Chain A
């Protein structure tokens, strides 16, 4: 009796000590008042804080609010890093910097929900291949943020293309590639300094040719290992989900009843996070028939796919995608580089939109990310020629609101609505024109890029002292 009390007291002391450490103890766990172990879900927290900003009034622009609205000549007011007001006429507050935006267009910043900047940075030398933990078909335990090199010269190039946030994903070799991370496009010395505050984690999964090629045919052996076929892909997902269900059950039992804490498993932590609705699934999937299988499988295990990526055949099942409620993150016109991309059409994005499903323009490219507005323009015009009449105001949802929703950050950004982060781009003209460029790019109200000020483009460490030092040299 006495002995038990002593143990209990010691545990209390330990628990108090762990709590004092802040975000968990040295074992990555902490204990609550009931002596239960709990998992620290945020061990690499964001240190990003918005840079200083002025009160800015953009006057007389063509304003796309990002949720389908357009003001032909409107004003946008940015105060304390947030969008304060969007209206036809706003009186300049005292001390505001007033920018004549007549002839210009103002939109929400572009959000690319499929980027490998930082994990496959420039230069693409062998030492920089940190985007894919190819060592196993199921690597849900790895996190893209641990491979992000914040000095990637691709970040400032994307900034000059009007990209204010992006999701950095692991590659698509694996069935489960690991966690993605959402970043603000603001240069920082560390990944944490770019990390989008309070954005949920994401999980990258992959369908089709890549996993079976890398594992089944890989390594020069025959067979290389599982998966070797699309059958093996689905078996691989389901085996992992089954283990995750069991792991989740153990934790729930432990949380309810106590006893010995389940053995920690980083891979299953991630999958359990998905099953708990805390981590959003982003799944590389080209073919329509495969996406249909994945939607069924997600229902089998009780989670939801946030967005299918590449989704080259989404136009074939746009109705089913709308019913299910998954987004499709698409290119305007990439096709044919492998069999599962062979049926690409230029109208994929507008056809998905037209079916009432969520359409997103994504890049998966350090070049494409610099002109996502042009990719939307191509898709929009091709759709119109096919009889799908979509307004430019509606089409902008593909670039900001829909990707923000797919990443779980639409409360914070992705549209020009009062109270949201002032992630805003002023374009030199109609951003659906090839001749227009991002002129001013604000992130949380701070002016991070001004095309007319040569000193305002960040130059990454790697470029310093090299020929030219940055793009706009």
Chain B
């Protein structure tokens, strides 16, 4: 049941410090995320952080380069959690540790979530050891319906772990955004149109005034790339009519790159979304009429969106800072509710990579970034866990603050010394 991976010829430390690194994983059951599908027994060759090749029944190279014998275990690309707040909040209820939102700021689009990112946050290893190697981190809405700009990072915890800064602008066009815009959807849409005009008119319309219709000078400058199609706009919306508004926005601004987060009623407008080429990031758990914008929520949403050809990624939208790791459980539940295993895997690897245009991530393919996970069972099963997590070819630590707390308290014997001495 519990396997111990055998890493031969080099220790993890040696791997981390070697200059030109190679790594081979043999006897792997690989879900590749490519047209090659799943290979029952393959060798994966990695050099300098990239996949070099994936060969069925391939063998370990000669010589002393490091090899992991997966012994038939599942291997998948590193999982991508496409909507999180990892690393920008340590303890949700403690404002001093919470950089997700700012209700008192004058700025909106110009807020960069990356300015608050702490690669050493406890959520980073907690998420990594469950198999998530890349995270999209979004700002939350504080004072404005336009929350700011999010980024993509890896979960290595390294100082340079941001993969792509300012990867997207996040805007709430649902009930929350309406409230922040003044109290109604019309107020939100008027503000959004104003923001588009401000950004397109920058810097000309700010010659005489510091303030635009919606945005400050700084925000208008920051929004410029998005309104010209150079940066993804991620829109939170659930209600079918709200989603149709977004489809209309896209129709009127064909160059704009939009994806929708939430989309509980996405299945109602699935064909329209597919025609418009608008992808979605949904939470397969969401099946309650939690608000009047989510009356149509159903656990069949994922199956129907994917069936209609909508590019669909899965996220755990509940506690998306500390529990973003549940994206795998979400994907498993989607399978139970009608999605194929391959589509569910794609929804947490290749689909988010496509949405964020991360061309070298999400699949095990020659030339791609060597993020991968070796599992101890079916990757989507709740009783499975990673045996090893590899980011850019480097074998990662499987330790977190949680595993250290566990190890301290597994034996409660204090007859010799207090447990506080144990670490």
Interface residues of A (CB under 8 A from B): 122-125, 153-154, 157, 209, 315-319, 333-339, 342-347, 351, 355, 366-367, 370-371, 374, 377-378, 380-382, 384-387, 432-437, 462-463, 466-468, 471-473
Contact = CB atoms under 8 A, between A and B. Distances in A.
B132 interface: no
Given A336-B123, A385-B2, A436-B336, A374 B300 contact: no
Contact of A338 (B92, B123, B296, B326): B92
A153 B296 CA distance: 12
A385 B130 CA distance: 13
Nearest to B287: A471
Contacts of A345: 402-403, 405-406, 409
B207 interface: no
A380 B381 CA distance: 13
B416 to A, nearest CB: 16
Interface string B281-325: 000011111111011111110000000000000000011011100
B383 A378 contact: yes
Contacts of B406: 315, 345-347, 351, 386
A337 B385 contact: no
Contacts of B285: 367, 370
Contacts of B265: 467
27 contacts: A123-B290, A123-B294, A124-B291, A153-B289, A157-B287, A157-B288, A319-B412, A333-B323, A334-B319, A334-B322, A336-B90, A336-B321, A337-B91, A338-B93, A338-B94, A342-B91, A343-B405, A345-B405, A346-B402, A366-B288, A374-B329, A384-B2, A434-B381, A435-B336, A436-B336, A468-B296, A471-B287
B300 A462 contact: no
A377 B295 CA distance: 30
Q: How large is the interface on B (under 10, 10 to 19, 20 to 34, 35 or more residues)?
A: 35 or more
A85 B161 CA distance: 59
Given A371-B333, A434-B381, A472-B299, A337 B92 contact: yes
Contacts of B385: 381-382, 385
Given A337-B322, A378-B382, A473-B300, A318 B412 contact: yes
A184 B123 CA distance: 38
A12 B397 CA distance: 80
Contacts of A347: 406, 410
Interface of B: 1-2, 90-94, 122-123, 240, 265, 268, 285-292, 294-300, 318-319, 321-323, 326, 329, 332-333, 335-336, 380-385, 402-403, 405-406, 409-410, 412
A342 B97 CA distance: 13
B382 A122 contact: no
Contacts of A386: 406, 410
A310 B101 CA distance: 27
Contacts of B296: 466-468, 473
Chain B's interface: helix, strand, loop or mixed, by majority?
A: loop
A381 B382 contact: yes
A254 B298 CA distance: 58
A111 to B, nearest CB: 20
Given A123-B295, A345-B403, 4 more contacts: A345-B405, A366-B288, A434-B329, A434-B333
A333 B122 CA distance: 14
Given A337-B91, A374-B329, A315 B288 contact: no
A355 B123 CA distance: 28
A336 B122 contact: yes
Contacts of A315: 406, 409
B40 to A, nearest CB: 20
A433 B290 contact: no
Contact of B91 (A339, A371, A382): A339
Contacts of A370: 285, 287
B287 A467 contact: no
Nearest to B319: A337
B287 to A, nearest CB: 5
Nearest to B413: A319
A102 to B, nearest CB: 20
Nearest to A462: B289
Nearest to B122: A336
Nearest to B402: A345
Nearest to A355: B412
A122 B382 CA distance: 27
A437 B335 CA distance: 11
A378 B92 CA distance: 24
B121 to A, nearest CB: 10
